[in-house]
Structure 1
């Protein structure tokens, strides 16, 4: 069975209005959008209507970790309004990060506590990685392992592009956390040194061997795939090329 495919709206944040993109994404074959803050913040109900009008869904949305900790009720309500299952904190600002195991264990504990609250409402919490989670600490351990080590209720939206940029192997991570991965982001990257579009490319146009990774997707808990490009010159080309390549792999 084919995976539902969502489009991370951050990819086309520089081409407003966002809601005008929804029918285009639907015509390309997308099933859902994955929004980031502040795309949905001003009027979640209106945002939901715009998604519905285009025949799309919202499986999950990116939100601040601080929101999960300090404003859980607000973001749980947003999740319910959007019809989302997954609340996904994706980042810790560089100025806040500490290179210690205890710090990253603390991040995992915050996610676990948020997941417990979310579960009371039928919702789930998943972490989305960048590259810094794969940089070994002084003791040789990795932030990602401390984050996901906080408890099985902390799920994972794996970003294969950032893992590759960090010098880690997406195949190993797909296998290592197969029982925690609920969404797979097929971000692709150009060879090191390419500066166009910040070195990001459409899925299938970069250095990641998706044909090798695709069978590993089926061994995870993932129930959907997400395309993303951090800074495309042509978001339409990126969106169309990416979903076409994913479907060509039998996903």
Structure 2
């Protein structure tokens, strides 16, 4: 009888402990998932090459090649290498502030996140993108089969999109698709990530990002990534005075 009572009491205790721990075990830390997504996409400080392709409804294409460097959480430069008409142009982002340098024009010009220095569906916020966890916080995170679904809210009104829904592959922690919305709830664009590639240095991420928008029917833009690798740069590089010399970074 004592053995029976002990077994019953032990079983009840274990069941109670499991019940108490279950919510903790099942809870998802969306902000931590988002930070892991950022590190899967890029090192914190790096250099890379990208090709941007704008595709019009009639099939015509315009291509750009950019060399970019980023330092820490809020500093990035993108230098235009091609086409020849754009060569030497450079953009700088420091936090929410952005500038465009055009050779022989004088001092850099202020630009905004929703403008686009290349035209097409990608805007300056996409081209000079910071870590998602810098600009967004997670309002909801849930597991859906082999994916995580994150609902993200902009930390400030200066961010290009008011909120995002991000679908993340659970195995690789790489984004699969992002829907970007205005504060009104209007869908601005959808970003799709494809072609997982090993870039070395522990960087294994999508090599292609495509976007389209219900606001630009029939238009499509593609960003292809190459040669992503960690790089350490001094703070002086990310200044307006240095921007005309951005070509020296290659």
More helix by share: 1
Task: Please classify the TM superposition score into its range, dividing by the shorter chain length.
Answer: 0.3 to 0.5
